[in-house]
Amino acid sequence: MQDAIKSLARQYAADIVATRRHLHAHPELSFHEHNTAAYVADQLKAIGLTPQEGIAGTGLVAIIEGQNPTRKVVGLRADMDALPIHEANDVPYKSTVEGVMHACGHDAHTASLLGVARILNVLRDQFEGTVKLVFQPAEEKAPGGASLMIKDGVLENPAPISMIGQHVAPNIPVGKIGFREGMYMASTDELYLTVKGKGGHGAMPDTLVDPVLIASHIIVALQQIISRNRPPASPSVLSFGRFIADGVTNVIPNEVTIQGTFRCMNEEWREKGLERMKKLAEGMAEAMGGSCEFTIVRGYPFLKNHPELTRRLRAQAVEYMGADNVIDLDLWMAGEDFAFYSQVVDSCFYRLGTRNEARGIISGVHTPTFDIDEAALETGAGLMSWLAVRELDVF
């Protein structure tokens, strides 16, 4: 089976690259992946599959039934949305949509999963069980396409016993794969604060309620919640990237706006931390004579890779790739809505190396110069196909 998968991955490699390039040149933002979804549906229909369309708006699901299809179901997921970034790469497949770019590799994820569809559809008589292909919209934007697809029943009829996903990794050399058991990626919540006071002339501070001073104290104090209230074994990050006090050198504004993000890997601490932040910010502002509106936009939960499943898949990746090409990953405080699947069903989210320093392919995700070594696509499609059929073999 492994030889057959590798042979088909090589055979379809050029098609997978062409698919990725088409998707890269025609990106669409979260919840607007209409042309992308239609293209994916056409590709699936062309190989004889019948996709279920319109899940969570623009999501699709396709089923590949092997022998004894009810024996076991494994789910494979790819995301399809792009980012509001102007591409700076000078490549033939550069984005044709102004200000929109596949800067996180979702074009590669979707192309790889379409490659899996081709491979496993050919081999469907050689494995038992069912593979459920999930093409998901809106990973990049809350509330996350994964949560909406789950609400629309993507984990039912048939219900997968496990979900497997992959993500490009520009920090890992092409040809290598990374795994991590247990806690892997962080929950993500957005924080929006409006600190109000009474503005006026900077030379007359005694007549004012200075929201700039209040906001500054709040930012410093909120960091103490992380350092003094966080369970020591629970990684957390609190960062503020936007602070707007729209006065001038001698004018204190009436209000200050702040935006930040809170990330952690413990749902109980997440709730407690958010509650304490809100209480502290509002109380400190009031104590200093002003007020604070503290708004929380809930993001994704933390992503946990099921230990036993991840150990199995890592061992199977070693079988397929060789031990030297399978590495262990560190914790990553970025967020991913694949986490919603991991909170419901045994799941594993691994990383696909795409870096090639010799060719200058070194830019990180979410940057205007992000690109991948497309040799990773053959690996991505072949390995995911292998992981799926091997997981179907586990009783």
Is 125 a catalytic site residue?
Answer: no
Q: How many helices (H) and strands (E) does the chain have?
A: 9, 16
- Please state, in angstroms and as integers, the Cα–Cα distance from residue 260 to each residue in 216, 219, 362, following that order: 14, 10, 28
Whether 220 and 227 have beta carbons less than 8 Å apart is answered as: no
- Say if CB 277 and CB 225 are below 8 A apart: yes
State how far Cα 214 lies from the chain centre: 35
CB atoms within 10 A of CB 86: 12
Cβ burial 95-128 (10 Å sphere, 16+ → b, else e)? beeeebbbbbbbbbbbbbbbbbbbbbbbbbeebe
Question: With 0-12 CB in 10 A as exposed, 13-18 as middle and 19+ as buried, what is 362?
Answer: middle
Residue 201 assigned to a binding site: no
CB of 349 within 8 A of CB of 305?
yes
Whole-angstrom CA distances from 162 to 73, 120, 389 are: 8, 17, 12
Start-to-end C-alpha separation, the chain: 18
Indicate which residue of 81, 189, 346, 391 is catalytic. Answer: 81
Q: Examine the residue annotation and report whether 324 is marked as an active-site residue of this protein.
A: no
- On whether the CB atoms of residues 30 and 58 are closer than 8 A, the answer is no
| 167 known ligand binder | yes
22 is in an annotated binding site: no
Separation CA 376–CA 379 (nearest Å): 5
Is residue 104 marked as binding? yes
Catalytically annotated residue among 107, 139, 189, 378: 139
Taking CA 274 as the corner, what is the angle to CA 268 and CA 275, rounded to the nearest 5 degrees? Answer: 90
366 carries a ligand binding annotation = yes
List of E strands, the chain: 52-55, 59-65, 73-79, 130-136, 162-173, 177-179, 182-185, 189-196, 200-201, 236-244, 251-252, 255-264, 291-298, 303-305, 326-328, 346-355
Alpha-helix residue ranges (DSSP H) falling in 126-244:
145-151, 211-229
Length of the chain: 395
Catalytic residues: 81, 139
Annotated binding residues: 104, 106, 140, 167, 366
Annotated binding residues for Mn(2+): 104, 106, 140, 167, 366
